[in-house]
Structure 1
Amino acid sequence: MIYSGTYTAIKADVPEFFMRKFIKLERIRANRESIQKKLNKKWLTCGIFTCVAAIAMIGSYRYISGIVKVSSNVNGKELPIYCVQTDEKKVALSFDAAWGNDDTQRILDILKEHNVHVTFFMTGGWVESYPDDVKAIYEAGHDLGNHSQNHKNMSQLSDEEKTQELMSVHEKVKELTGVKMQLFRPPYGDYDNAVVLNARENGYYPIQWDVDSLDWKDYGTDSILNTVLNHKALGNGSIILCHNGAKYTADALDALLDGLKEKGYQVVPISQLIYKENYHMDVTGRQIPDAK
């Protein structure tokens, strides 16, 4: 018994009543020490568990954040790129080439005079009809973009048909210029989750616009200039939509480029505006670079 030594040492000089009290107090003290040791062990275990859980939660948060940051999915909806978040005064000018070709060379000449490069989204039919112009666009240093083979509503097609629409014109342009296109604009701006995912699976960045010139409505030169230059969405990282076959686009182009320059914007091809990796999207389709 742990108290026998203490008891033997003092029992000759201390009355039995006090000895019993002393032994009782010693037992209480020992019990308290035992309980305290158990509590300390329990709290240590809880503390370790809490730390591990906290680390796991932090790790999960970083992992989940990583998934969100590399995804174009916003609230369950896959989004193409409408514009780009940037502090630089840059915008991208784009031309959809699906019909007509009367003004293409004139547009190229004006762009050359301003030392500006843009992006042309071409359908397969347009490429087949005007192969020399496809080469001229490429040789002038402009982006070549995919606008589908037949300008159909992509959301109404099967996955196999979507791929055919993309890759048919892809191969035609590659054969003519050697370029493997990476930018895709859905005809009519029509898309759903399947269209965006299919484009990505085929190596394309789906591209929309946040500034529509409305040149396709043929309202005239002034209408194009006012629509673009006074557009509420025009800002750093904007993507502007025009058409090479619209009636007044070539007439408005020189003044449009001057107007953008006066506002302090540098016009660049879409390939030089967008982020190729380490980005996420907001609900408006704005492409945002991940924090470093």
Structure 2
Amino acid sequence: MMFFISKRKLLLMTSIVLILAITMTVTHLYFPTYPRQVITTLVNLNRRVPIYCVQTDEKKIAISFDAAWGADHTDELLAILDEYNVKTTFFLVAFWLKKYPEVAARIAAAGHEIGNHSATHPHMNSLTAEQITFEVLSTHELIKEITQQEAKLFRPPFGEYNNLVIDTIEKLDYKVIQWSIDSLDWRPTTAADIVRRVTQKIEPGAIVLFHNNAEHTPAALRPILEFCRQEGYEIVPISELLLKGDYYIDKSNGMMRPR
């Protein structure tokens, strides 16, 4: 069977193709990232992010320590924090809690907040909802048993997360916490580098990440606390920094903002 197209229809089809070609060319020339921006925007509409920092006009920041391996420097850190009358948040892994229950108890007794850092320090974004729930709840019970605290903050190991991780953990009445200032104290570095890296980024609402067993963290901590004191910053546990009432998380930077 043969099909015949009239000259009028052929002209119309040609015109449409030509218009589309011109439109695509102009868009590419003047808006070269437009398709990518559209796709990114659509993805970001559904993307969930943890809390990295908090919008506040007050000169307040939070300092946090992740504890997963070793406890050699923890008592020294506690002594320095006590010297400056500073309370912080320690995120503890279950296997660390089991190995160092007395240290965990001392952290809590010193008035520091205890956060949940998982049971086995896994890559959370590779787990099922059931596995995520186990990582959180089993550690929650251990924290409660050893420190008598009801943890409400969770920091995912390696800082890895996805929507399932956040959704599942929030259903367990937890908030997922990241950081806005990374001391990178776990890398080969010096105390001076850690001090410089942290102090140059301190601003209201920041959350700082340290590790309890990093070699140079004790030597860096005192000058950082001294800097905060001189600049008029109050250091509080993360839960005290978080906003109360209605809020949203800015997907561009993880900032907790009031509505």
1:1-292 → structure 2 map (5 Å cutoff): 75-231=45-201, 234-283=202-251, 284-290=253-259
Alpha-carbon separation, structure 1, partners of 2:124 and 2:153: 15
Alpha-carbon separation, structure 2, partners of 1:246 and 1:235: 24
1:200-239 CA-partner distances (Å, limit 9, x unpaired): 01111000001001101130100100100112xx311000
User: Does the 8 Å contact 1:81/1:206 carry over to 2?
Assistant: yes
Alpha-carbon separation, structure 1, partners of 2:223 and 2:193: 12
Alpha-carbon separation, structure 2, partners of 1:106 and 1:246: 12
Specify the code of the residue in structure 2 equivalent to 1:282.
D
| Alpha-carbon distance, 1:252 to partner | 1.0
- 2:125 aligns to what SS in structure 1? helix
Structure 2 unaligned regions, length at least 5: 1-42
| Alpha-carbon distance, 1:276 to partner | 4.1
Alpha-carbon separation, structure 2, partners of 1:218 and 1:119: 24
Tell which structure's C-alpha radius of gyration is larger.
Answer: 1
1:241-267 CA-partner distances (Å, limit 9, x unpaired): 000011100111111100122222111
- 1:144 aligns to what SS in structure 2? strand
1:51-87 CA-partner distances (Å, limit 9, x unpaired): xxxxxxxxxxxxxxxxxxxxxx962111110000000
Structure 2 match to 1:57: none
| TM-score between both structures, scaled by the size of structure 2 | 0.81
Q: How many residues in Structure 1 have an aligned counterpart in Structure 2?
A: 216
Specify the code of the residue in structure 2 equivalent to 1:142.
H
Structure 1 unaligned regions, length at least 5: 1-72
Alpha-carbon separation, structure 1, partners of 2:193 and 2:147: 35
- 2:235 aligns to what SS in structure 1? strand
| TM-score between both structures, scaled by the size of structure 1 | 0.72
Where has structure 1 moved over 6 Å in runs of 4 or more?
A: none
Alpha-carbon separation, structure 2, partners of 1:277 and 1:131: 35
Alpha-carbon separation, structure 1, partners of 2:166 and 2:244: 15
Alpha-carbon separation, structure 1, partners of 2:203 and 2:139: 32
Specify the code of the residue in structure 1 equivalent to 2:242.
I
Specify the code of the residue in structure 2 equivalent to 1:101.
A
User: Does the 8 Å contact 1:74/1:281 carry over to 2?
Assistant: no
Say what the alpha-carbon RMSD is for the aligned residues: 1.2
Structure 1 match to 2:4: none
Alpha-carbon separation, structure 1, partners of 2:230 and 2:246: 32
